[in-house]
A and B are shown apart, each in its own frame.
Chain A
Amino acid sequence: MKSKKVFLVFVCFLTVILILNMLDASLGLTPAKRSLNFEPGSKSVFEYRVNTDNPEKELILYSKGNLSEYVSLNKEKLIGGGGFKATLSLPEKIEKPGRHRILIGVKEKIDKELATVGTSVAVQGVIYVHVPYPGRYIEINNFKAENANAGEPVRFSFELINRGKENLTIKPKIEVYSKNKKEETLNFKTRKLETGKNIKLKKDLQTQDYNPGEYYANLIVDYGNKTKEKTNFRLGTLKVDILNHTKSIKLEGVKRFDIKVESKWNNKIPNLYGIVTFYNESSVISKIKTPSSTIEPWEKKQISGFLDTKKFNEEEYKANITLKYSGNSTEKMSNVTFIKEDSLFTNPWIISIISAIIIVGGALIVIYLRKNKKKLKKENEGKN
């Protein structure tokens, strides 16, 4: 303990400075991504540019990752940015088929002579090398369908890449489903796709005969073998659903009433607001209106209004919740319970704890008084 105090006094004289100091650090590498198909013995030169906000900063260049042993850089470092070249000299054979990732990186050199050391930022671009699979292999990329409103066309788009060693004849089709019922099949032309090549395709689904709702589509590509991918899409209708709302309100001044809503429309809906009317058996008690707001396509959000609870008693009331938007409305009847504000003396836990304290306290007082009485008695007997 003594040594601790001595140490603390010592520390008082030698102030401690704690600094996590990061010099302003912005670093960029362009391009971020490259992609090429493996060709035995091929040589590719990639040009890169480095940007930094510090013109005096020393930057170290490097490569790492799978196949990085085949990369050579024409510079080891840069000062304050600039350009460099990465040469990729691929071997005659790469055993493992598939996608290989090489990282081309640049990092700030930390100045170790500074009393406080700055942060180092590193950025890494990627070179993907695709080594073809033996035989036939089709890769599907970015199969997607755009949501639309019922009656409007839904656009499907995707990319196919021949990652195999064989040139292929492909025949894609898209099957459209609602739940598990097949609605329609969109067929594409039969096409040739050479090894290493890609093709981007698109097709519109006409939805005049479709109901609003959730759908999914399977893309099936027949290339001798078959490959398949799934995507979901929605057809909208100009409707905002009431998902939930405040179910109980405490009787105390002005309280908030929340309504959780969900748009089923594929466009923004401006000027959405809610009107809530509270009834008892005989008459309207109160009516509130929420502020207007905009709801984004398919968005779930909460809108709120405020009501004065003075007019309500501790009981259940009927509530008619109406949403108004773009000339349409959604209505829901529900019940809302008004409850009294919790009081300390109505909470059973608090009552139990207070009772326990009173009982224990009372018992202690009784014990103390008895002991005191006996003590006084003994003292009196001693005096006598």
Chain B
Amino acid sequence: MKQNNLLLILAIVAVVVAMANAFIALNKVNSLTGHATEEGYANLTVSSTVNINFSQDTVNWGEGIVDVGEDNATLDTVGPTVTGGNWTTTGVEPLILENIGNVNATINMRAASSAQDFLGGTSPAYEWNFTNNEANSCTQGAGVTLGSYASTSTSNTEVCAPLNYLTGQNSLQIDIRLTVPYNSKIGSLSDTITAEATAA
């Protein structure tokens, strides 16, 4: 009986402490946010920023050769596929460029090398194909047709005019197709693709 009384007293104390705590906490919350009795201004300036990101930044076919008897091999990130050669398609994905700023941006692209400088040999090809990775991201620029392969260019090519910045519609996919001749350059071949974003 004595123990029961003690427990009852402890319970009452706990309830009182909890209520006091709740009261103090609510008072603090009220003083921070709602229940304002005076008008005030929240003044801030949001800066514009142009910001782009290659979220998928590598196309790597690894090592390989053109099949014996073939004039060339075609390596395509669409699929991805390799025909006429033994390069891997494992882990090969198209490049993804995103506008992560808060303004639309005109996107120009250029490759550092021509197909001949990059791959060498007889009739090499170095092509790109731009598509919306997310619907309504890119308004087709003057230099390309979205969804079609075209030879890369070493001068600025207007791809998107503009690339949107809104979440869910700000992502451009860049597929790459290489035609590697049997008599191409040998060794580690590489090139640079540059994306240039200008606030629109």
Binding site for B on A (CB under 8 A): 4-5, 7-8, 11-12, 14-33, 51, 53, 103, 105, 107, 110, 115-126
- Confirm or deny: B184 has a beta carbon within 8 angstroms of a beta carbon on chain A: yes
Contacts of B183 in A (CB 8 A): 4, 7
- For chain B, the bracket of interface size reads 35 or more
Question: Nearest residue in A to B104 (C-beta to C-beta)?
Answer: A32
Ranked nearest first, the 4 interchain pairs of A and B with the lowest CB-CB distance are A28-B51, A32-B199, A26-B53, A22-B57
- A-B contacts, 15 of them at CB < 8 A, read A12-B65, A15-B64, A17-B187, A20-B193, A21-B190, A25-B53, A28-B52, A29-B49, A31-B47, A31-B48, A107-B196, A119-B195, A121-B197, A123-B196, A126-B198
Of A116, A122, A126, the contact of B195 (CB 8 Å cutoff): A122
Asked whether, in the complex, the Cβ of A20 is within 8 Å of the Cβ of B58, the reply is yes
Considering the chains assembled together, what is the distance between the CA atoms of A7 and B71 in angstroms?
A: 12
Asked whether, in the complex, the Cβ of A26 is within 8 Å of the Cβ of B199, the reply is no
Considering the chains assembled together, what is the distance between the CA atoms of A14 and B64 in angstroms?
A: 10
Asked whether, in the complex, the Cβ of B193 is within 8 Å of the Cβ of A33, the reply is no
Asked whether, in the complex, the Cβ of A103 is within 8 Å of the Cβ of B189, the reply is no
Nearest CB of B to A127, in Å: 10
Considering the chains assembled together, what is the distance between the CA atoms of A125 and B52 in angstroms?
A: 12
Contacts of B57 in A (CB 8 A): 22-25, 119
Contacts of B102 in A (CB 8 A): 32
**Residues 155-199 of chain B, each 1 if its beta carbon lies under 8 Å from chain A, else 0:** 000000000000000000000101010111011111111111111
Contacts of A20 in B (CB 8 A): 58-60, 176, 190-191, 193
Contacts of B54 in A (CB 8 A): 22, 24-26, 119, 121
Nearest CB of B to A263, in Å: 19
Considering the chains assembled together, what is the distance between the CA atoms of A340 and B21 in angstroms?
A: 77
Asked whether, in the complex, the Cβ of A7 is within 8 Å of the Cβ of B112, the reply is no
Question: Nearest residue in A to B49 (C-beta to C-beta)?
Answer: A30
Contacts of A18 in B (CB 8 A): 61-62, 64, 75, 87, 178, 180, 189-190
Considering the chains assembled together, what is the distance between the CA atoms of A103 and B200 in angstroms?
A: 11
B10-67: which residues lie under 8 A (CB-CB) from chain A? 47-54, 57-66
Asked whether, in the complex, the Cβ of B194 is within 8 Å of the Cβ of A124, the reply is no
- Confirm or deny: B6 has a beta carbon within 8 angstroms of a beta carbon on chain A: no
Considering the chains assembled together, what is the distance between the CA atoms of A11 and B85 in angstroms?
A: 12
Contacts of A123 in B (CB 8 A): 50-52, 105, 196-198
Considering the chains assembled together, what is the distance between the CA atoms of A133 and B85 in angstroms?
A: 63
Asked whether, in the complex, the Cβ of B188 is within 8 Å of the Cβ of A19, the reply is yes
Asked whether, in the complex, the Cβ of A117 is within 8 Å of the Cβ of B53, the reply is no
Question: Nearest residue in B to A9 (C-beta to C-beta)?
Answer: B68
Known: A15-B63, A115-B188, A117-B190. A8 touches B68 (CB 8 A): yes
Question: Nearest residue in A to B108 (C-beta to C-beta)?
Answer: A122
Question: Nearest residue in A to B176 (C-beta to C-beta)?
Answer: A20
Of B47, B186, B190, B199, the contact of A115 (CB 8 Å cutoff): B190
Known: A8-B68, A16-B187, A116-B188. A125 touches B199 (CB 8 A): yes
Asked whether, in the complex, the Cβ of A21 is within 8 Å of the Cβ of B52, the reply is no
Question: Nearest residue in B to A116 (C-beta to C-beta)?
Answer: B190
Nearest CB of A to B153, in Å: 15
Considering the chains assembled together, what is the distance between the CA atoms of A249 and B66 in angstroms?
A: 50
Asked whether, in the complex, the Cβ of B63 is within 8 Å of the Cβ of A16, the reply is yes
Asked whether, in the complex, the Cβ of B186 is within 8 Å of the Cβ of A14, the reply is yes
Contacts of A126 in B (CB 8 A): 198-199
Considering the chains assembled together, what is the distance between the CA atoms of A28 and B66 in angstroms?
A: 41
Considering the chains assembled together, what is the distance between the CA atoms of A33 and B101 in angstroms?
A: 12
- Confirm or deny: B103 has a beta carbon within 8 angstroms of a beta carbon on chain A: yes
Considering the chains assembled together, what is the distance between the CA atoms of A117 and B59 in angstroms?
A: 12
Of B64, B184, B191, the contact of A117 (CB 8 Å cutoff): B191
- Confirm or deny: B100 has a beta carbon within 8 angstroms of a beta carbon on chain A: yes
Asked whether, in the complex, the Cβ of A19 is within 8 Å of the Cβ of B182, the reply is no
Known: A7-B182, A15-B64. A122 touches B197 (CB 8 A): yes
- Confirm or deny: B125 has a beta carbon within 8 angstroms of a beta carbon on chain A: no
- Confirm or deny: B138 has a beta carbon within 8 angstroms of a beta carbon on chain A: no
Nearest CB of A to B186, in Å: 5
Nearest CB of A to B188, in Å: 4
Of A4, A30, A117, the contact of B48 (CB 8 Å cutoff): A30
Considering the chains assembled together, what is the distance between the CA atoms of A5 and B66 in angstroms?
A: 11
- Confirm or deny: B115 has a beta carbon within 8 angstroms of a beta carbon on chain A: no
Question: Nearest residue in B to A23 (C-beta to C-beta)?
Answer: B57
Nearest CB of B to A86, in Å: 14
Asked whether, in the complex, the Cβ of B68 is within 8 Å of the Cβ of A5, the reply is yes
Contacts of B178 in A (CB 8 A): 18
Question: Nearest residue in B to A118 (C-beta to C-beta)?
Answer: B192
Asked whether, in the complex, the Cβ of A19 is within 8 Å of the Cβ of B195, the reply is no
Considering the chains assembled together, what is the distance between the CA atoms of A42 and B77 in angstroms?
A: 52
Max chain B CB contacts within 10 Å: which of A12, A26, A107? A26
Asked whether, in the complex, the Cβ of A8 is within 8 Å of the Cβ of B199, the reply is no
Nearest CB of B to A61, in Å: 14
Contacts of A25 in B (CB 8 A): 53-54, 57, 195
